[in-house]
Chains A and B, each alone.
Chain A
Amino acid sequence: MSILLSLVLLVIFVLSIVLTLRKITSKSQSPTSTAQPVRLFFQYGLSFGLFIIVTVGVAGLLSRALDTSSIVTADQSSLASSLSFVIVGGPLLVGIIIWLKKSIAANPADGHGFIPTFFATLASVISLLVFLASGVAALRNLVNSDPISGSTLARAIIWGIALVVVLKLANTVIPKSDFRIQYFIGSLITGVAAVIGLVKILTGLFVLVLAQPGLLGTSSPALVDTQNNALHGFAILVLSAALWFYYWVKNANTKTNDTLWLSYVLIAGVGGSLVLALTSLIVSIYRVLVWFVGDPSSDVLSIYFARLPGSIAAAIVGALAWWYHKSLLPDKTQRTEIQRSYEYLVSAISLIASTIGLSIVLVAIIESFSKVLIAGDSAINTLIRAITVMLVSGPVWWKFWNQIQDSAAQSPEKEVSSPVRRIYLLLLFGVGGVTSIISLITIVFLIFEALLGAGLGVATLNEVRFALGILISTGIVAAYHWAIYRQDKQVDVASALIIKSILLVGPKDDEFVRSLKDATGARVTSWISADTDLLSWPIEQVIAQVKQSENSQILVLLESTGVRVIPVDY
């Protein structure tokens, strides 16, 4: 009874707010009114909240209908909450959607901008996550011939429908350029799920192969097996790959020359998959090395190597994902800022890993003569860990850094003046420097603490080992990059290419804009003039004229009489 009373009060409260707001907004207000963002936030926030409530309620009701198991004790309170969610939330959601539709019809700008994009993205991402998780669970039960629980199936159906509805509605209202962000978030979620699926498939395969008689015997033979894990990975891969195809191939990857796409491919694609591949490879090699030359945690082969198939599978899948994202970047022959960003990113990741490895080597060296180990990982294992990290990531850094330095030697003015290089050098110097200072403070603190206490000794050396290792390794990195930065500053960048800003006014031609950017390295802004539809840009002529111009800001105008290049200051 008390629940019903609270619901009635809530309905009255929400209705009174809606009516008050309608009263306020129905009075003529200029589109620039400061009340507009507040109203929009309320409208979209409320519709988002009601959308979640109604979807949860409908999924709860459907789960009752789909649950085939014989109910011993019915959970009446969950049924009551599902009913109330649908009965109260449903009409309110319809009402608020009608209100939104009218608002957008009266002022189309209501469907643009941060607020609608934020709530639509949030709704679609939540729908995707719930649909993916419950869809995978339902598929897994299906391939295992296990009974599918009613609530799982209901969640998969209802949140799947909700996802389609949100995408359809949002795409009709929000401009594609605004709503594009959700395709990247969706690509990331479904891509990670697909990677998990493929890793599970490969892991299952390796476990099965290694369990065969005559092979390494690294997998323990089953005494009892009521699991049917072999096909789990397929269930995950099938659903997530289908969704990834929609999000990435069909949507996010269709426009490949903007910052959002590049950031995703470089950070999540290349960076994320490289970290996965390198980490998994390091873990795999480390486990094998410890078994042969270190101090393994178990003498039983099958126990010790139980996780090895998983780490090898993750390394293979990580390498595949890295190759895929790397191959999406423009051709290596054209050394653009994109190519540079890729090389510097890989170089940074592998250098950070190598620095961590060097720190651990130093810690292991100090540990070997400062600490008597009673239990836990021995110094030999620490040393193997460090050497493995350096063995895997060191060559990657060496290859990419040499490639970068070769380019800097061949055309110093282009490489040295690149903002990507400057950011890279300053970041490594800055982060390395800050870490060194923190480590130094820690060491001095520990020394003073020892001096004022029990006195300096082997125990002090043992305490400062991590800080000392980090100080030396990050100090080397910071000093090396500072030296490179100083060296770069000596290069005569006055003769280097000045990055120009070009404002194009003429017909729309994306291919021409891309060619101009590639040829001149300039920042290009394109404005479309209304009466130049029949004209086309003379590519070679424009490139030649831009290169001849000594000004950094120029306006390039295409008229029926030809191209005009005008120096401007904007």
Chain B
Amino acid sequence: MSNKRANKILGVVVAGISMVALILVLALKAPTPQLDSNSPEGTVQRYLQAITDRDFDTALTYLATDSKCKIEDFDRAYIQESVRIGLAETTETQTRATVKVTVESSNGDPFGGNFTQNQAFRLVSSDADWKITGIPWPTYECGGVYK
């Protein structure tokens, strides 16, 4: 095959892939859906939204009343500007629930590589809603107690 023909085919294929990807990305990309606020995953979602908005006062309202975490603990936590948190799995009983999430954040390379970590949130049932217990991400230390 001649060089020109190979270059043309490569150009057409790459442009085709890019166009299809662009159209689908724009068509399928939907805003993050809001989950039921009375469900464990809905509680975790609202807590995480408050965290990424740096609204720590609101974030604290999703924690269990006996939580050791104070607003100063959240002030110390490192939260990246650009982050995607996906729901991996929810296991639920009458009184307890575990919500597993994957946290993807930029690893800082110029080509936009991602660093992924798995985090689990443990919740207890409280009246009609759920509260997060323990030392939840992004904190690793609350009131001198480490995770």
Contacts and interface: CB of A to CB of B under 8 A. Distances in A.
A232 B112 contact: yes
Q: Which of B20, B87, B116 has the most CB of A within 10 A?
A: B87
Contact of B116 (A137, A202, A241, A306): A306
Nearest to A240: B111
B10 interface: yes
A231 B13 CA distance: 18
A256 B101 CA distance: 52
Q: How large is the interface on A (under 10, 10 to 19, 20 to 34, 35 or more residues)?
A: 35 or more
A212 B110 contact: no
B86 A208 contact: no
A379 interface: no
Given A220-B88, A221-B33, A205 B48 contact: no
Contacts of B44: 223
A382 to B, nearest CB: 24
Contacts of B116: 306
Contact of A198 (B17, B48, B100): B17
B7 A226 contact: no
Contacts of B35: 223
B13 to A, nearest CB: 6
B118 interface: yes
Given A220-B102, A224-B52, A241-B14, A234 B22 contact: yes
Contact of B29 (A140, A208, A224): A208
Interface in A200-245: 200-202, 204-205, 208-209, 212, 219-234, 236-237, 241
B145 interface: no
Contacts of A204: 21, 25
Interface string B7-37: 1011001100110111011001100110100
Contacts, number: 131
B136 to A, nearest CB: 13
Given A324-B10, A327-B6, A223 B86 contact: yes
B49 A224 contact: yes
Contacts of B110: 132-134, 136-137
B72 interface: no
A328 interface: yes
A313 to B, nearest CB: 10
Contacts of B106: 227
Interface in A98-144: 132-134, 136-137, 140
A302 B88 contact: yes
A226 B24 contact: no
Contact of B87 (A134, A221, A306): A221
A201 B15 CA distance: 11
Contacts of B9: 324, 327
A312 interface: no
Interface in B80-120: 81-89, 100-102, 104, 106, 110-112, 114, 116, 118
B115 to A, nearest CB: 12
Interface in B42-81: 44-45, 48-49, 52, 81
Interface of A: 132-134, 136-137, 140, 193-194, 196-198, 200-202, 204-205, 208-209, 212, 219-234, 236-237, 241, 249, 253, 256, 300, 302-303, 306, 320, 324, 327-328, 331
Given A208-B24, A223-B85, A328-B3, 20 more contacts: A133-B110, A197-B111, A198-B18, A208-B28, A220-B88, A222-B87, A223-B48, A224-B45, A226-B81, A227-B104, A229-B114, A232-B111, A234-B18, A302-B89, A320-B14, A324-B9, A324-B10, A327-B5, A328-B1, A331-B1
Top 9 A-B pairs ranked by shortest CB distance?
A220-B86, A133-B110, A232-B112, A327-B1, A327-B6, A205-B21, A223-B45, A230-B25, A224-B85
Interface of B: 1, 3, 5-7, 9-10, 13-14, 17-18, 20-22, 24-25, 28-29, 32-33, 35, 41, 44-45, 48-49, 52, 81-89, 100-102, 104, 106, 110-112, 114, 116, 118
16 contacts: A132-B110, A134-B110, A204-B25, A205-B21, A205-B25, A209-B24, A220-B102, A224-B52, A227-B84, A227-B104, A249-B7, A253-B3, A302-B89, A302-B102, A324-B10, A327-B5
